[in-house]
Amino acid sequence: MRKTHTLGSAYFEGLYQTDDDPWKFATSAYEAEKYARTLEALGDEPVRAALEVGCSIGVFTAALARRCDHVTATEISPTALASARRRCSAQRNIDFRLVQSNGEPLGGPYDLVVLSEVVYFWDDADVAAFATQFEQALAPGGRVVLVHWLGETDYPKSADAGVDAFRRALRAPYAVEKAERTADYRLDVWRRAG
């Protein structure tokens, strides 16, 4: 049965306290393929400033930082964030930030925001709160990449429902640049008008 409220800090902190890589980001062939495809979907366009929401233990963060001038990586679990800092300690173009809620300012402006496997953990109120902060942080002409697993979960939303809720919560116009589905995940790239 689907949870009705956002899965918050206590949920994720409990997972990372029990298992330092609960989704096997560092070892999963699925994750490796998904990360490679996500980076490929960015194309060759230079990225000056990127935001990664929900960086977990920093596996994708390390790869993203090699493509960007600067990355701000956020995480709700202090344990996961500490792991990400250690994993990426040699990369000087990453700032890590612990966040407590979706209503926190995100900084910016960013020309890229990555939402990989995060939106479906949020209820409608948190999707709306994040969308408000997101639109203050994403530069005109900036892109957002959403990647979500299509399998069954008990999260507040499915992959499709999460992406659809986020799209509805946005006020600025966005052009769809990519909308791909594999057997396992969907990958969406949208560009803000401007």
Q: Number of folded domains in the chain?
A: 1
Across the chain, which has 194 residues, the per-10-residue mean pLDDT values are: 89 90 91 96 96 97 98 97 97 96 93 97 96 97 97 95 97 96 97 92
Q: Does the residue 43 lie in any domain?
A: yes
- DSSP assignment string, the chain: ---SS---HHHHHHHHHH-SSTT-TTT-HHHHHHHHHHHHHTTT--EEEEEEE--TTSHHHHHHHTTEEEEEEEES-HHHHHHHHHHTTT-TTEEEEE---TTS-----EEEEEEES-GGGS-HHHHHHHHHHHHHHEEEEEEEEEEEE-S---SSS-HHHHHHHHHHH--S-EEEEEEEE-SSEEEEEEEE--
Q: Does the residue 145 lie in any domain?
A: yes
Which pLDDT score, from 0 to 100, does residue 101 have? 87
What is the reported pTM? 0.95
Q: Does the residue 126 lie in any domain?
A: yes
Q: Does the residue 46 lie in any domain?
A: yes
Q: Does the residue 178 lie in any domain?
A: yes
Q: Does the residue 20 lie in any domain?
A: yes
Which pLDDT score, from 0 to 100, does residue 74 have? 98
Domain range enclosing 18: 9-192
Q: Does the residue 2 lie in any domain?
A: no
State the CATH number of the domain containing residue 140: 3.40.50.150
Q: Does the residue 59 lie in any domain?
A: yes
